[in-house]
Amino acid sequence: MHWKILIGFILLMCFQELSAQERGKVTVTKDPLIDSLIARRLELNRAGVSGNSVTLSGFRVQIFSGLERALVYSEQVKFKTRYPGISSYISYTQPNYKLRVGDFRTRLEAEKLMNELKKYYSSLFIFSEMIILK
């Protein structure tokens, strides 16, 4: 008998909760912190802007990696001669110098260049990194 009263009480509470909701009405409660986070994000995006260029996440094609500094600079000169309109970047991560080229927003754009470069370079890779758009 005790359990029947308990089940009845639980059912009564469930029906009361269901009747308290209104159909077709949505209430959105927004934390004020969201506005401050959006403002901060906009501020950071503006900070990435310098002159006519913007820094954002994108892709580059690595065309050369080697131990000798002079060799990577030589490869950069060859690349700039063939493709004067495409930016090139040299980085050093011990023990290798790396030559990466391009500032592509999409991986597909980087793959197009990579396919074109296959006739000149044997070891090509696409990397995701911060790029500079003008």
Q: Please compute, for residue 93, the number of CA atoms within 13 A of its CA located in the half-sphere on the CB side.
A: 4
pLDDT above 70: residue 15 = no
Across the chain, how many H-helices and E-strands are there? 4, 5
Q: Could you give phi then psi for residue 61, rounded to 5 degrees?
A: -105, 125
Range of the domain at 114: 49-133
Is 43 within the bounds of a domain?
Answer: no
In CATH, what number is assigned to the domain containing residue 88? Answer: 3.30.70.1070
Over residues 34-73, the pLDDT tens digits come to: 777 788 777 766 665 555 667 888 999 999 999 999 999 9
pTM score above 0.85: no
Over residues 67-108, the pLDDT tens digits come to: 999 999 999 999 999 999 999 999 999 999 999 999 999 999
pLDDT recorded at residue 14: 59
Tell me which of 8 and 82 has the higher pLDDT: 82
Cβ atoms of 104 and 58 within 8 Å: the answer is: yes
Is 29 within the bounds of a domain?
Answer: no
